Every structure is written in C-alpha cells, then in structure tokens.
C-alpha cells in the first residue's frame, strides 16, 4: 500500500503503524500522528495502517 | 492591577484566572514562567526536583546568589519580583507517570519544559490522555538557525516548538538565545490558547 509519511507518498508492506516505524529506525521518543490524531502508548503499536492514510513522526530530542 | 497594563478587561480576566502548569523549572520552564507572568498569568503550578547549579546560569532565569537553592523556590522568588500578587503552587517533586495526573489536574494548559528526551516523552505520554492542551519543545540546542525553530499543532492538543533535531545529546550545548526563543514561543502559545486565538 501507499501511505503519506512525513508528507510524502511512501510504499510499504507493513500492516501496522509500529511495524512501519520500526522499519524506519523505530519510534522511541517520538510523537506519532496518524490520520490527524496522536497515537500514545500502546495505541501506536496497535493501529493498523490504511492505504492513503497520513502518518507523521516527530522526534523528541533533549534540551531545555 | 496586572503587571501587563496593555490587557483589556476580558484578556486580563482570562489570563488571571487561568492555571498554567510548568513541568520543569530549567531553561525552558523558568523563562517560560517569566514570560507568562509578564503577560498577565497569575496562577502557576511549577514542578521541579532540582537545585540551581553553576551550569544553569548560562540560560536559566536564576542568579549566582541562588546557587544551591531549590529551583521552585528560587523561581518563585524571581517571579514575585515581577509580580508580587501570584498564586504559585510549587511542587518539589520528580515527576513520574504516577504523579503527573494529580500534579496538573487543576491546570488549563501544561508546558513541557524538561531537558532529557526520555523525560519529555514520558511526560507527553502521561499528559496526552488527560485531553488538556500541552505545549512542548524539541530541538532547541546550539545557536543560530532561529527561523528553524518552528511551531506546529499535532493532533488536537499538542503544540510542539523547536526544530525536532538539534539535540543536546549530539554535542550541541543549550545556549540562552535559542532556549530563550523556544521558552518565549511556549509562553506565546499558552497566551494564545488561553485567549482562544490562533497560536
């Protein structure tokens, strides 16, 4: 399927958000936005990827 | 009487009645609190377990004669130099998933102002289910690239400020100008959220 990842059409065989993000280096310390909603905690792992859906991952890095 | 004499009656009432949570009283939190008080916010819940250290003075709203003091106490003292009539709920506590909920339960908006990525992430994941607006920062280390410090709304309740890449752990030090920009942007977003306007 094709999803919109970080604003760009992206082909993937992954079936869940977690599997897709793991294939991209993981999602520790990231805020995951899927179909306009934030996926927090276990929801990030459970969500099924849908063709055409928009997915964004925002890195949380140190500094304050 | 508000320290911010430019507010109209409606704005003054909204900002004075709001309770803003500040999670962390370091570079982001101390400066964000300062901006909020100058803007007219009078009720803050400030949580931090740390004491003022030498390395904090390059960017945090503390002074040399406050070294070794609890950050929440020193910050309260400094904020009251700006506006004596404040309601400050000071929590000398290390925030964790089991105390974040009740610490900020009375807040209208919460500012994430931690330093470490793990702590920031932990706080966000604990706060997001509460359904309250959260203003957070990621990617504020180093210097220059002021305009790379962006602001975006993620989902319904999260405002994220920073470039999401300038990481203290990658060798960039936190400097006052860039941390200060982000702290001011956090405060600016809080004021806009409270007044019901575009961030």
- What is d(CA B71, CA A25) in angstroms, rounded to the nearest whole number? 37
Q: Which two tokens stand for residue B108?
A: 């209208």
**How far is the CA of B76 from the CAs of A25, A40, A61, B42, B57, in angstroms?**
42, 33, 28, 12, 16
| Domains of chain B, residue spans | 9-194
With beta carbons less than 8 A apart as the criterion, state whether B38 and B28 touch.
no
Q: B36 burial class (0-12, 13-18, 19+ CB within 10 angstroms)?
A: buried
Q: With an 8 Å Cβ cutoff, is B141 touching chain A?
A: yes
Domain extent for A16? 2-59
The answer to pTM > 0.80 is yes
The answer to whether residue A64 sits within a structural domain is no
Q: Chain A residue closest to B114 (CA)?
A: A64
Interface subset of B 101-140, CB within 8 angstroms of A: 113-118, 120-121, 124-125, 128-129, 136-140
> Which CATH code fits B9-194?
3.40.50.720
Give the CATH number, domain containing residue A31.
3.10.20.30
Are A61 and B116 a contacting pair at CB < 8 A?
no
What is the count of structural domains for chain A? 1
CA proximity to B5, closest of B39, B42, B37, B31: B39
Query: pLDDT by residue for chain B (199 residues), tens digit each?
Result: 789 999 999 999 999 999 999 999 999 999 999 999 999 999 999 999 999 999 999 999 999 999 999 999 999 999 999 999 999 999 999 999 999 999 999 999 999 999 999 999 999 999 999 999 999 999 999 999 999 999 999 999 999 999 999 999 898 999 999 999 999 999 999 999 999 998 8
Q: Which two tokens stand for residue A12?
A: 């993937």
User: Can you name the residues that pair with B37 across neighbouring β-strands?
Assistant: none
- What is d(CA B75, CA B66) in angstroms, rounded to the nearest whole number? 9
């Amino acid at each position: 399927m094709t999803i919109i990842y970080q604003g760009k059409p992206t082909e993937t065989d992954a079936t869940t958000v977690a599997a897709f993000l793991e294939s991209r280096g993981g999602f520790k310390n990231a805020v995951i936005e899927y179909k306009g909603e934030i996926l927090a905690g276990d929801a990030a792992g459970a969500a099924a990827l849908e063709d055409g859906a928009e997915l964004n991952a925002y890195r949380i890095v140190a500094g304050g | 009487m508000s320290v911010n004499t430019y507010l109209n009656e409606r704005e003054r009432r909204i900002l004075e009645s709001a309770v803003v949570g500040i999670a962390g009283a370091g570079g982001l939190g101390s400066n964000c609190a300062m901006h909020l008080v100058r803007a007219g916010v009078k009720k803050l819940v400030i949580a931090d377990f740390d004491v003022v250290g030498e390395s904090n003075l390059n960017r945090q709203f503390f002074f040399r004669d406050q070294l070794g003091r609890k950050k929440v106490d020193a910050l309260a003292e400094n904020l009251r130099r700006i506006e004596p009539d404040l309601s400050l709920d000071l929590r000398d506590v290390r925030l964790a998933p089991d105390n974040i909920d009740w610490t900020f339960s009375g807040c209208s908006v919460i500012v994430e102002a931690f330093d470490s990525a793990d702590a920031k992430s932990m706080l966000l994941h604990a706060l997001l289910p509460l359904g309250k607006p959260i203003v957070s920062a990621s990617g504020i280390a180093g210097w220059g690239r002021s305009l790379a410090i962006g602001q975006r709304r993620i989902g319904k309740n999260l405002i994220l400020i920073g470039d999401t890449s300038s990481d203290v752990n990658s060798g960039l030090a936190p400097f006052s100008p860039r941390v200060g920009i982000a702290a001011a942007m956090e405060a600016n977003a809080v004021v806009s959220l409270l007044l019901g306007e575009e961030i």
